[in-house]
Every structure is written in structure tokens, then in C-alpha cells.
Amino acid sequence: MLKPLPGQKTGNKGLILAIWSLKTRDYRFFDDFYPAKQLSAACSNRSLELRFLFPHDVPSYLDTHAKSLDIKTTVCLIRGHLEPAIFELLEKKALRCINTRASMDVVQDKYRLYQFLTAHNWPTIKTDRIDPEKPLISPEYSFPVVIKPRYGSRGRGVSLIASESSLRAAITYSANEQLLLQEYLANSHGRDVRILLAGDTLVAAYERVSAQGNFKSNACEGAIAHKASWEGIDYWIQMARDICARAGLWYASVDFLFRSPPSQKMVELAVCEVNASPGFEALDRDLCMDSATILIDAMIQDFFT
């Protein structure tokens, strides 16, 4: 069940344990899973061994390989949500994780992320927790507003709310979820800027533009990526680096929204979210990139040399 994928070479530089949280528990899924195939090819070309693990198999794998596993040449690449107990086990074994539990905790809770950003004076989106008993918005906000789950990804549950009655209905419908209220930036309707980093290495800086007027710009909803090369982008790339460094994130993306019109010469942005487990399939497709090789080369530089 835990054999390397077909065509994968056992490398001599080190081992990457890609711990992937997915709905399936069938390892054959990785055979045709785009990011897995790309990572496998990149590791093979760089003489690194790559092993895919589902979180529930981590304890038995570590027990079986306890004597042969070299913590100095092993790195765990965490993909998706990992239960605290699995992180604790990896930390107990002194295995290096990309990203660590502490760094992921900063950004996976979107309200905690908002507090983190404001505490360090980075420009961000005004955000408040919604009290289900008092769904009225404060005078600081005006409709339309955005609501989103406090925890979640891929734009799930994010809605543009036009009135107080719609807000009450959305809160009732999402009674079992903690919801956040955010200001709506009309200049960023259907578009954002994502800066994807691996350590100090810039993987890509790109705009995502939604399809058919959707106010969300997630790739899973059909948004198209375009390279961000306008004047002043280096300022925001450096800000993304600073945010990730302060949060302790090695591989992450920082998503910015437009406060000023995108056509303005000096664009003003605001941090919307930070993703500690970003994908790259849509990026590779739209910009003809090989993000996996950039990621693996950065890992070699920072962890295997």
C-alpha cells in the first residue's frame, strides 16, 4: 500500500513524506492526481525519494521505519488539514514539517489571522465575528458585505450579502458554523492577487480573474490566472514574504484584494487570506509553469543542503 508510485526513483539526497489529507484512502488515487504526479517527477529528477501518506497511516509508518528514518534528511510536506495528534507525533519524532502546526494555526483560523495582521500593521480587510443572537451589523459596515466561515478553504461558504434580511437568513442557514463578517471591496469584485512562496523563493505572483461576473476569484470556480507584472508588485511580494516569515510559514500563498482600481498606476492592496497549503494545478495550466520543480528546488536549497 505504501510503495512508491510507478516511475519514482529512490533518491540519495533525502526523503520527502507528503502527508496528504484527502477524502479518499485509496493510494491509487495519486497515480492520476496532478500535484502528486508533478511532485513525483520533480523529486525523481532531483534524486529525492518521495513517499505519499494519508494522515491515518502516519503512526504505523513511523513505527515501522523508526530505526531507518533519518530526521536530518527527512522533511514532511503537509497538504491539507492535519489533526493535532498527528502533528504531535511528527514533532515528537523531531521531524521537520512544511508547514508546522504552530504556523498553520495562525492562518487557518481566519479571525486569528485578522488579529495577527492588524497586530503587525499589515493592510487587511475589516473583519468581525458574527454573533448569531445579534446579526445586525455595526455602523462601520455598509451593505453589501461578505460573510465567510471562520475555518475553511476554496471559497466554500463565502457569500456576498446585500441586505440585513439576507444576512439573517444566511446566519440561520449556517447555524452550526462560526461566521465572520468582512467589508466588501468593490474594486476587487471577481479578482485578487495571489503571491505564492516557497521560503524566499517566489513561485509566482499572479492575478486571478473570475468567470462570468462571479465575485469570488477562486480557481475551483473557474477563475483564470494572469501574471502580475505591473509597477509596484515587488512591494507586495516583499510584504508577502514578511507575513509568511513572521507567521513561520515556509510554503504558503498570500491573497490580496484591490482597494484601488486595478487599472490605477500605483495599486493599493489589502491582505484577505493566507493559505498554508496552496495548490498549483490551475497556476501551471494558465501560466504554463512547473510549480512543483520550483518548490522542490527551493526545498533542496533550504532543507537538503
What are the φ/ψ torsions at residue 15 (nearest 5 degrees)?
Answer: -125, 130
Does 206 lie in the same domain as 179? no
6 located within any domain:
no
User: Residue 251: CA atoms inside 13 Å, Cβ hemisphere, count?
Assistant: 24
Distance CA 161, CA 146 (A): 6
What was the pLDDT predicted at 252? Answer: 98
Give a yes or no: residue 63 inside a domain: yes
Q: Which three cell numbers stand for residue 246?
A: 513572521
Are 298 and 195 within one domain? yes
DSSP per residue, 192-228: EEEEEEETTEEEEEEEEE-STT-S---GGGT-EEEE-
**C-alpha span between 255 and 196 (Å, rounded):** 9
DSSP readout, the chain?
--PPPTT----SS-EEEEEE--S---GGGGGS-HHHHHHHHHHHHTT-EEEEE-GGGHHHHHHHTTTT--GGGEEEEEES---HHHHHHHHHTT-EEES-HHHHHHHHSHHHHHHHHHHTT--B--EEE-BTTB-PPPTT--SSEEEEESS--TTTT-EEE-SHHHHHHHHHHTTTS-EEEEE--GGGTTEEEEEEEETTEEEEEEEEE-STT-S---GGGT-EEEE--STTHHHHHHHHHHHHHHHT-SEEEEEEEESS-TTSSS--EEEEEEESS---HHHHHHHT--HHHHHHHHHHHHH--
- Residue 167 C-alpha cell reads as 444576512
Report pLDDT for 70. 94
52 is a domain residue: yes
In a domain, 278, yes or no: yes
Confidence at 2, pLDDT banded by 50, 70, 90 = very low
Number of domains in the chain: 3
Residue 279's nearest CA partner among 267, 292, 266 is 292
Domain boundary among 139, 162, 184: 184
Based on the domain organization, do 192 and 299 belong to the same domain? yes
Q: Using CA of residue 20, residue 198, residue 234, residue 231, what is the dihedral sign?
A: negative
Cα 126 from Cα 55, distance rounded (Å) = 35
Considering the domain architecture, whether residues 244 and 169 belong to the same structural domain is answered as no
Q: Is residue 106 part of a domain?
A: no
The pLDDT assigned to 168 comes to: 85
Residue pointed to by grid coordinates 533518491? 11
Q: Which pLDDT score, from 0 to 100, does residue 6 have?
A: 39
In a shared domain, residues 192 and 265? yes
Domain containing 69 — which CATH number?
A: 3.40.50
Domain that holds residue 87: 15-98
Residue 10 maps to a domain? no
Nearest CA among 257, 273, 285 for reference residue 113 = 273
Q: What is the pLDDT of residue 135?
A: 56
Q: What is the pLDDT of residues 4-57, one digit of tens each?
A: 443 344 456 899 999 999 999 999 999 999 999 999 999 999 999 999 999 999
pLDDT of residue 136: 64
Both 192 and 157 in one domain: the answer is: no
- Same domain for 87 and 168, yes or no, is no
Residues 224 and 259 in one domain: yes
The pLDDT of residue 131: 80
- Cα–Cα distance for residue pair 35/23, rounded to 1 Å: 16
The whole-number pLDDT of residue 12 equals: 65
Residue 119 lies in a domain: no
Domain's final residue, options 53, 78, 98: 98
Q: According to the model, what pLDDT value does residue 230 have?
A: 87
The CATH number covering residue 178 comes to 3.30.1490.20
Angle at 243 between CA 54 and CA 143, to 5 degrees: 95
Last residue of a domain, one of 139, 164, 184: 184
Residue 161 belongs to some domain of the structure: yes
Q: What is the pLDDT of residues 88-136, one digit of tens each?
A: 999 999 999 999 999 999 999 999 999 999 999 999 999 999 887 765 6
Same domain, 36 and 87: yes
Q: Are residues 132 and 85 in the same domain?
A: no
State the cell numbers at 211.
468567470
- pLDDT tens-digit readout, 179-231: 999 999 999 999 999 999 999 999 999 999 998 888 999 888 889 999 998 88
The domain that holds 265 is classified in CATH as 3.30.470.20
pLDDT, residue 172, reads 79
In this prediction, residue 241 carries a pLDDT of 98
- Joined grid coordinates for residue 150: 471562520
Please indicate, yes or no, whether residues 194 and 297 belong to a single structural domain of this protein. yes
